[in-house]
């Protein structure tokens, strides 16, 4: 099953997005949130993101969603630090809507490509008609 990794500068934000994603997809799926720094401050840490990738991967790959530009940079660094070959895709998607969409697609058995596409389609969702 494709893993979903939520990366935010804020631990509380990451946990809230995680909570919504697993509410929709179910807790038995590989969804993990990495938020803030280890000391609780705001920021992102490539080592913690790398560990999150490794924890969410079960062989089918990981779709990663990040909140801000430096979260993307830290995520790219984390991918470079991986010692094993794990297929990781960073979604160009809104973190909340993308995480929920990706988690649902992963829960129904979507491939890495399908889960990534589901996350990225969230950019097109209009909240107002």
| Marked catalytic residue, from 1, 2, 9, 98 | 9
**Would you tell me how many other CB atoms lie within 10 Å of the CB of residue 28?**
9
Per-residue HEC secondary structure of 26-70 comes to: CCCCCEEEEECCCCCCCCCCHHHHHHHHHHHCCCCCEEEEECCHH
- On whether the CB atoms of residues 118 and 101 are closer than 8 A, the answer is yes
29 is catalytic: no
- On whether the CB atoms of residues 40 and 11 are closer than 8 A, the answer is yes
Residues belonging to the active site = 9
């Amino acid at each position: 099953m494709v893993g979903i990794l939520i990366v935010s500068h804020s631990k509380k934000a990451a946990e809230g997005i995680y909570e919504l994603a697993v509410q929709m997809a179910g807790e038995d799926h590989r969804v993990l949130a990495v938020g803030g720094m280890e000391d609780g401050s705001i920021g992102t840490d490539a080592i913690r993101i790398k560990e999150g990738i490794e924890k969410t991967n079960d062989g089918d790959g990981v779709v990663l969603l990040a909140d801000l530009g430096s979260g993307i940079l830290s995520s790219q660094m984390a991918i470079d630090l991986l010692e094993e070959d794990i297929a990781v895709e960073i979604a160009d998607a809104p973190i909340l809507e993308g995480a929920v969409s990706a988690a649902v697609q992963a829960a129904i058995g979507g491939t890495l490509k399908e889960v990534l596409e589901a996350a990225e389609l969230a950019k097109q969702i209009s909240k107002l008609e």
